[in-house]
Amino acid sequence: MNLDQFIENFADLFDETDPDTIQANTQFKNLEEWSSLVALSVIAMIDEEYDVEFRGDDIRGSSTVKDLYDIVETRVEEE
């Protein structure tokens, strides 16, 4: 698991947002396309790609894409 791949997987969840605008320090909740549906897609992507249980509270407690990655990375290491 690496940050660049995580960012790419995250960016793939957006239809209208240019993937090149999404970086580690991107405040994802400020993206125009961010919605509760995208949040559910993030949870599903993390479960499918990384086999990690991720919850809405994890998203609410995060600000940047790197924050999300850090949570996933911690949980992958625990297994």
Residue extents of the structural domains in the chain = 3-13+23-78
pTM assigned to the model: 0.94
The tokens 């125009």 sit on which residue?
32
* Tens of pLDDT, residues 1-41: 899 999 999 999 999 999 999 999 999 999 999 999 999 99
The Cα 32–Cα 26 span in angstroms is 12
* 73 contact partners, CB below 8 Å, separation of at least 6: 1
Per-residue confidence (pLDDT) for residue 54, from 0 to 100: 96
CATH topology of domain 3-13+23-78: 1.10.1200
Q: Does residue 45 carry a pLDDT above 90?
A: yes
Q: Report yes or no: 7 and 70 within 8 Å, Cβ to Cβ.
A: no
Task: Give one word for 48, left, alpha or beta, with left for phi > 0 and alpha for psi -120 to 50.
Answer: alpha
